[in-house]
Amino acid sequence: MTIARRSLLTLAGGALAAATLPGSAVALDYPTRPVRLVVGFPPGGSADIVARIVAQALTERMGQTFVVDNKPGAGSNLGTEQVARAEPDGYTLMADSVSNAINPTLYKKLNYDQLKDLIPVASIDVVPNVMDINLDVPAKTIPEFIAYAKANPGKISMGSGGIGSSPHVAGELFKMMTGVDMQHIPYRGVAPATADLLGGRIQVLFDTLPAAIGNIRAGKIRALAVTSKKRTATLPDIPAMSEFVPGYEADSFHGISAPKGTPREIVEKLNREINAALADPKLKARLADLGAEVFTGTPEDYGRYLAGEIARWGKVIEFSGAKAE
């Protein structure tokens, strides 16, 4: 064999090997073009805000633009379905929220399966709700409120941002675990519910902490407890609900998923970069300002957490009898 022919065969073999390399070669260069991060809600909400914070960090770290694409509708189902049906190449990702754990039970028929059609990439944070009451309610603690509610069954109105929203299911979990009877009043968003809480037209709202904190600090509403497992550094003087109702926990969360079939190497690369971004003290501080606590781990960790949340909220939805609007 001549040297020229040997060189030609060597080059051909190298080209064939490169063409058949596993996803590691793809992941080495990824991303080579902009990545779309789909948010299933309109701009301005907590899911959108957190997605934009993470997208900016990934843009800076990975050298390609991560674009937030708002696709609201059906409690984030429209956006989630789009991602589930997208090309599994790492260039379309889903910004998950607690709705991704609630919807599998709330909606009797979905065009996707959260645990089968998407794969977990990374968790981002957990965000507690806070149980707020109108100042005219004669209760300053959770035990006092429970006693008051049981003495006035069905007379207390509990607002929410809509059926299946985080404030709704957090309140239903409270009802399920304490045996109190409150009338649920769903609104089209948490802003009008907050307005009615301030005006005394409803008495209770399990609001998200970022949305409620201004009114709490201004003394316009009374915060009885945060819904996280422990107290939050954002409001350290407000007790955790679990201090009075053992086992109660109703955090919202944010994470990222990808279409099933996305190369493992790309998923792992995204996970590493997201975790590294969340380790930045400045980014942690930005999330802390929203009342969020950074929550990181492997894709498998996030997958187990998400499956657990789907099971937990499924029980609450079934207890409440809630049906999608």
**Residues 290-303: tens digit of each pLDDT:** 888 999 999 999 99
Domain residue spans of the chain: 17-127+252-320, 129-243
Asked whether the predicted pLDDT for residue 28 surpasses 90, the reply is no
Question: What is the CATH code for 17-127+252-320?
Answer: 3.40.190.150
Other residues' Cβ atoms within 10 Å of the Cβ of residue 157:
18
Beta strands in 128-277 (DSSP E): 129-133, 156-160, 182-186, 204-208, 222-226, 252-259
Asked whether the predicted pLDDT for residue 271 surpasses 60, the reply is yes
Asked whether the predicted pLDDT for residue 1 surpasses 60, the reply is no
CATH topology agreement for domains 17-127+252-320 and 129-243: yes
Distances (CA, A) of 189 to 100, 144, 167, 212, 223: 17, 29, 10, 13, 20
CA distance 169 to 207: 11
Handedness of CA 275, 281, 283, 286 (dihedral sign): positive
pLDDT of residue 113: 96
CA distance 276 to 270: 10
C-beta of residue 317 within 8 angstroms of C-beta of residue 102: yes
Could you tell me the pTM of the whole model?
0.82
pLDDT of residue 10: 43
Asked: is 129-243 a CATH 3.40.1190.20 domain? The reply is no
Position 325 confidence tier, pLDDT thresholds 50, 70, 90: low
Give φ, ψ of 302 to 5 degrees.
-65, -40
Q: What value does the mean pLDDT take over residues 17-32? A: 64
Asked whether the predicted pLDDT for residue 18 surpasses 80, the reply is no
